[in-house]
Amino acid sequence: TMGNGCVTATKYFLFLLNFIFFLCGAVIVGFGLWLLLDNQSFIVVLSDSTAVKTACYILIGVGAFSMLLGFLGCLGAIYEVRCLLGLYFACLLLILLAQITAGTLIYFQKDALHEETFKVIGTVLDGYPGNNSSVMQAWDFIQRTMECCGWTSQQDWSGNMIIKNSSMLLFPCSCQNISTAAGNASDSGFCEAPTPDWPVYEAGCAASVERWVLTNIGVVLGICVGVAVIELLGMVLSICLCKNIHREDYSKVPKY
């Protein structure tokens, strides 16, 4: 009786664990979709970066697979199907190894990622305003709300073709320091400067954007750590349940 009670407790705890795993997968999918679809996030500025897009799609794929795995784990636990529990354990092990590998690669490729970010942003500033209005709006939003200009400083705008080829003293309106603005200042496009000294924010956006990225990476890492703990518990419980299921009753499994 005590043995049956332990099996029952393990079964329902594994079911609860997989339900949480399913929800975590849904959160990861939601985060990946937010990065792809939010028109006012910094990711929009990096929309031309293949690495960033790939990372978003990987997040969505991992989240969707986690949801499927959570569903299979729930099914295998509640109906005590050993083959499903074995498959569930093997998939969890593969996911855990993939997460460790991905985390290691990201850690050792930090400098390359930073360099690519700088290159992509330089292209965005040189081509502003381009055909991609969402990128323009995102960069204007960043400079306006973070009160910054350019990536490292306002000098990053010196390569912009419109500013270089104009006979007027132009500067990006979203850079304008609102404390020195006269009248209603525009928040997008280019404005004319009264003197060669632009009335803009002195700070570059790199520090603020990096803080934003680190904050969101913290959220992602927190979710990944939580999922990893759930995966380890799921692996232990699935093995324990497999060992205690001596006979499978497939009549319990619903027929669809």
> By CB neighbour count within 10 A (0-12 exposed, 13-18 middle, 19+ buried), where does 117 fall?
buried
Nearest in space to 92 (alpha carbons), one of 26, 30, 23, 18 = 18
Write down the pTM of the prediction. 0.55
Number of domains in the chain: 1
User: Alpha-carbon distance 84 to 79, whole Å?
Assistant: 10
Which of 7-11, 170-174, 194-198, 235-239 has the weakest average pLDDT?
7-11
User: Alpha-carbon distance 27 to 234, whole Å?
Assistant: 19
Nearest in space to 84 (alpha carbons), one of 255, 256, 248 = 248
pLDDT digits (tens, 9 = 90+) for 52-91: 677 778 778 888 888 888 888 888 878 877 887 888 888 8
Nearest in space to 87 (alpha carbons), one of 68, 98, 73 = 73
Question: What residues form DSSP beta bridges with 191?
Answer: 171
Name the amino acid, one letter, at 156: D
Q: For residues 234 and 14, is the Cβ–Cβ distance under 8 A?
A: yes
Domain around 243: 2-252
pLDDT digits (tens, 9 = 90+) for 165-180: 887 888 888 888 877 6
